[in-house]
């Protein structure tokens, strides 16, 4: 039987060649990126944290860089800590647990500076993060020296815990990055002004670590570009990278973006893959140590091309490994069709950004590894899943994996439920990749797929299932607005699907500015139509994760979409819509087409209440309209317990 390496496709084989990094032998070119999880408790590594990392190690990644750990004890945040010996037991348990998987293990050392959740905000200069953030306290020279020492002590603790290397988070607007920024560092002493002075803090940290833990490789994560005009850019990044190499850095990891440009740092699905590779390539041409690239490199051929073309030596996989922990193993074994796709929806990022535990829209195991167990059913049963949205397909998949006889019923011509319409918005096309993956997987598992099939109590009685899982989703809310039944009024999904054609000179009014409303406006404005969103609340984009929402709303305005907030529609007429503005005055908007995007209400109970003599589970939007993560997790819970 051929080995895994022998089955690797020629295109991706380069990803599975070894590499030396500062005296360490990395068995492949894939590194798990350091990503926050909020699985720690008060800064301490938990068993949940360990299970999460062990699951990724088992998937074949050659190197893991554990998420950013805070180096200064007074810093408060959702991250783990590495600021004192009290944190060593958990860190040691984590390293020891990963040793069984032939994986190189590092830890990222982090000081958030002014980007703290709570506690003192400090920075090179008293420049706030934004207009709502507190003004950070400017660090005195003595305090800077103390923080440099904190990094060195943290590196020593990392060595004592058993880590193979340390990485300093010097990007994304955290403290070292903040010092490098000509916009945010306005000091007039030896730490500000020229690039040499702005780089002084980073170089002092690097020297202190190298001196404290000689022989332990130091990786430095740097921004190739801040993504803001006048900020730290690639020419400066190249020069600082050279200087970091000179003082002992063993590798440079090149990212980009800050809090102000999170769509660069944590690119949503509408950002092209490989969008940061050019920065890694520029640094690679300038230094002699290994360079690490990042930025939606979850396409195996693209990741391999980055290495093969010499743009970087190693590839970071971040969200890809949350969605598909077995990405490295499946690629190495040329099982590309089995890869669960990361759709870059940023649900994981959004949750962690709010201080909640990491979860994934496409992988319900993520963040639940300690408890996750797909146990064969004691007694196979007939399971009838009604509805094939995210919840229904996941319930069918896991129920079938457990050995049940499963059928899934969908009234439309293809599986996916509302995923089809959602994936038609220009910013959400990747959603269809997950729909196609799930459809393929449940077919391969032998789920009986019934399309164009309306389920009634009579159909259920004829099928004689043991369990009916009702995952019929939700239906659009249609409020009693005068004129809402007019011929020019349509559900927003009809515009997304192309069932209603919009002419370039049409005036389109979208009533409702949540996710569906904004996505409809985005889709329609591309036709050249004049588009207005009317929303009762103070803002639009509710239901869209924060990074995508910020970028989408900005693009809508840039595209000419008119957004009316705190406005209530009071009547729809043949060629216009009447609404009450924030001052209580009645206004009119010309309207050739009206699209309704006013939310959803569950429809599952209607069927469930008609079923007698059979076990019934109602889940997902059929029970309570919620987001993608909740739907997939609800489906998983059903599939694991039926």
Cα(105)–Cα(64) distance, integer angstroms: 5
What dihedral angle (degrees, nearest 10) is formed by the CA atoms of 394, 398, 401, 402? -160
Query: Closest Cα partner for 171 from 249, 111, 229, 83?
Result: 111
Q: Is residue 108 classed exposed, middle or buried when 0-12, 13-18 and 19+ CB atoms within 10 A define those classes?
A: buried
Asked if residue 601 lies in contact with residue 358, where contact means CB atoms within 8 angstroms, the answer is no
Instruction: Output phi, psi for 542, to 5 deg.
Output: -60, 135
Give CA–CA dist 73/205, Å, rounded. Answer: 17
How far CA 73 is from CA of 76, 113, 179, 467, 592, in Å, comes to 8, 13, 20, 53, 61
Structure tokens at 20: 């030396």
DSSP 8-class letter at 119:
S
Reported residue count of the chain is 642
Spatial separation of the C-alpha atoms in residues 303 and 290, rounded to whole Å: 16
Question: By C-alpha distance, which of 221, 275, 262 is closest to 130?
Answer: 262
Which SS3 state, helix, strand or coil, does residue 123 take? strand
Cα-Cα end-to-end distance for the chain: 37
Q: Which of 52, 87, 174, 191 is catalytic?
A: 174
| CA 457 to each of CA 466, 492, 615, 642: distance values in angstroms, whole numbers, following the listed order | 14, 30, 13, 20
Q: What is the DSSP string of 159-178?
A: HHHT-SEEEEEE-TTSHHHH
Residue 460: its H or E element: helix 457-463
Is the separation of the CB atoms in 292 and 251 below 8 Å? yes
Active site residue 53: no
The span from the CA of 346 to the CA of 362, in Å, is: 11
Strand partners, 215: none
- Known catalytic residues? 174
């Amino acid at each position: 039987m051929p080995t895994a390496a022998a089955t690797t496709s020629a295109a991706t084989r380069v990803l599975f060649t070894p590499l030396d990094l500062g005296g360490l032998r990395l068995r492949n070119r894939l590194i798990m990126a350091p990503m926050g999880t909020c699985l720690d408790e008060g800064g301490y590594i938990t068993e949940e944290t360990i299970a999460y990392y062990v699951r990724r190690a088992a998937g074949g990644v050659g190197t893991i860089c554990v998420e950013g750990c805070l180096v200064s004890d007074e810093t408060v945040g959702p991250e783990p800590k590495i600021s004192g010996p009290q944190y060593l037991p958990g860190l040691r348990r984590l390293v020891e647990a990963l040793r069984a998987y032939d994986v190189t293990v590092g830890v990222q050392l982090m000081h958030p500076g002014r980007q703290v959740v709570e506690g003192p905000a400090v920075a090179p200069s008293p420049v706030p993060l934004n207009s709502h953030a507190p003004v950070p306290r400017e660090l005195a020279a003595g305090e800077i020296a103390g923080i440099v020492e904190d990094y060195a002590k943290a590196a020593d603790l990392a060595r004592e815990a058993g880590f193979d290397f340390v990485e300093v988070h010097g990007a994304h607007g955290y403290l070292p990055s903040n010092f490098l920024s000509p916009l945010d560092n306005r000091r007039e002493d030896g730490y500000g002004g020229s690039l040499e002075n702005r780089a002084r803090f980073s170089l002092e940290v690097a020297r202190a670590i190298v001196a404290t833990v000689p022989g332990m490789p130091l990786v430095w994560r740097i921004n190739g570009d801040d993504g803001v005009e006048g900020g730290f850019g690639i020419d400066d990044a190249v020069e600082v990278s050279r200087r970091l190499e000179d003082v002992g850095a063993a590798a440079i990891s090149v990212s980009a973006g800050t809090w102000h440009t999170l769509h660069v740092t944590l690119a949503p699905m509408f950002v092209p893959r490989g969008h940061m590779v050019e920065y890694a390539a520029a640094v690679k041409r300038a230094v002699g140590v290994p360079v690490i690239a990042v930025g939606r490199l979850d396409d195996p051929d693209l990741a391999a091309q980055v290495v093969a073309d010499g743009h970087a030596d190693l590839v970071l996989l971040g969200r890809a490994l949350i969605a598909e922990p077995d990405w490295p193993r499946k690629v190495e074994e040329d099982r590309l069709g089995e890869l669960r796709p990361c759709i870059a929806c940023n649900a994981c990022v959004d949750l962690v950004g709010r201080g909640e535990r990491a979860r994934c829209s496409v992988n319900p195991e993520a963040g639940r590894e300690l408890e996750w167990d797909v146990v064969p059913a004691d007694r196979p049963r007939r399971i009838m899943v009604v509805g094939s949205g995210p919840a229904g397909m996941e319930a069918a998949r896991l129920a079938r994996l457990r050995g049940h006889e499963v059928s899934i019923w969908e009234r439309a011509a293809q599986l996916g439920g509302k995923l089809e319409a959602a994936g038609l918005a220009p910013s959400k096309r990747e959603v269809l990749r997950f729909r196609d993956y799930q459809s393929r997987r449940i077919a391969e598992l032998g789920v009986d797929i019934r399309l164009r099939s309306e389920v009634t109590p009579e159909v259920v009685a004829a099928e004689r299932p043991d369990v009916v899982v009702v995952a019929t989703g939700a239906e659009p809310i249609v409020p009693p607005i005068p004129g809402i039944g007019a011929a020019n009024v349509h559900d927003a999904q009809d515009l997304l699907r192309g069932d209603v054609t919009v002419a370039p000179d049409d005036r389109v009014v979208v009533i409702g500015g949540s996710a569906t409303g904004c996505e409809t406006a985005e889709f329609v404005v591309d036709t050249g139509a004049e588009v207005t969103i009317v929303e009762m609340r103070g803002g639009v984009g509710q239901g869209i994760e924060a990074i995508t929402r910020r970028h989408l709303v900005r693009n809508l305005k840039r595209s000419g979409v008119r957004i009316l907030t705190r406005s209530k529609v009071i009547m729809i007429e043949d060629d216009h819509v009447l609404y009450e503005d924030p001052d209580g005055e009645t206004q009119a908007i010309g309207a050739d087409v009206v699209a309704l995007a006013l939310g959803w209400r569950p429809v599952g109970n209607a069927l469930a209440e008609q079923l007698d003599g059979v076990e019934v589970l109602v889940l997902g939007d059929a029970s309570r309209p919620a987001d993608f993560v909740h739907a997939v997790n609800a489906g998983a819970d059903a599939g694991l317990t039926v």
